[in-house]
Amino acid sequence: MPLTMATVGQTVTVRKITGKDDVRQHLAELGFVVDTTVTVVSEMAGNLILKVKDSRIALDKGMANRIMI
């Protein structure tokens, strides 16, 4: 299921990244790689603030839908 389905406070594991090569590369540079744990810090209108590898990252709904958990 996409990352947007996770609830606030939930810690999930990234299983797959979809999209074009440049999108996948950008997400990998932000720390979203397969088998990484991600915690949902907050959610507003589908946009997420996530904790990845001791960093907080904001993703819009479109980008979050490309990350499968």
User: What is the per-residue pLDDT across 24-62, written as a single tens digit (0 to 9) for each?
Assistant: 999 999 999 999 999 999 999 889 999 999 999 999 999
pTM: 0.90
Q: Quick one: CA dihedral 25, 26, 27, 32, positive or negative?
A: positive
66 pLDDT higher than 90 = yes
Domain count for the chain: 1
Task: Find the domain containing 58 and state its range.
Answer: 3-68
What is the per-residue pLDDT for 3? 94
Q: What CATH number is attached to the domain comprising 11?
A: 2.30.30.90
CA neighbor of 49 nearest in space, from 30, 68, 35, 34: 30
